[in-house]
Amino acid sequence: MKIYHSVGSHFFGVIGNHLIHEGDPRDLSEFDQLIDSLVADARLLGHEEALRMTYAHLLSKPDYDIDRFFVLGLWEDDTVLRQLLEHFYRRGWPDAPWPLKWEDYADVELVGAPGPTWAPRTHRWGPDAPPSVAEREKKR
């Protein structure tokens, strides 16, 4: 399954922005309301499963450089980001399997999106994904 890298970085970027401006959280639950909102947005736009699969793919491989994936470049040790991404995943999809196994997500391939920008409303979540919200609205 090919998923655009931008799906994961777009939704987590809101949290990354918070980390840049506010620093590391005292308690991960500070992000619960934001996580709920981001997952609801992804669901509404038809990107929820692609988002879940992206984060599961990242978390299932313990040596994956989370900081590098999100292109933040702020931490030499990505422990805080990994904890936050794990919290995001477990909060967003409480019924999803845990712990994650790499074998279950090894077929996920994160690829570059076509064009210079990617936006969840106007773009598909992957090259073989169903039409985006904007594409569906044009057909009406």
The pLDDT, as a whole number, for residue 114 is: 75
20-29, 37-46, 116-125: least confident range: 116-125
Q: Work out how many domains the chain is built from and give that number.
A: 1
pLDDT value of position 98 = 94
Q: What is the pLDDT of residues 87-137, one digit of tens each?
A: 999 999 999 999 999 999 999 999 988 766 778 888 888 888 888 888 888
Q: Domain limits at 114?
A: 2-139
Q: What is the DSSP annotation of 6-75?
A: HHHHHHHHHHHHHHHHH-S-SSGGGGHHHHHHHHHHHHHHT-HHHHHHHHHHHHTSTT--HHHHTT----
Q: Poorest-confidence range of 25-29, 44-48, 74-78, 93-97? A: 74-78
CA-to-CA distance for 58 and 64, rounded, in angstroms? 6
pLDDT at 71 over 70: no
- Of the candidates 40, 68, 42, the residue with the CA atom closest to the CA atom of residue 53: 42
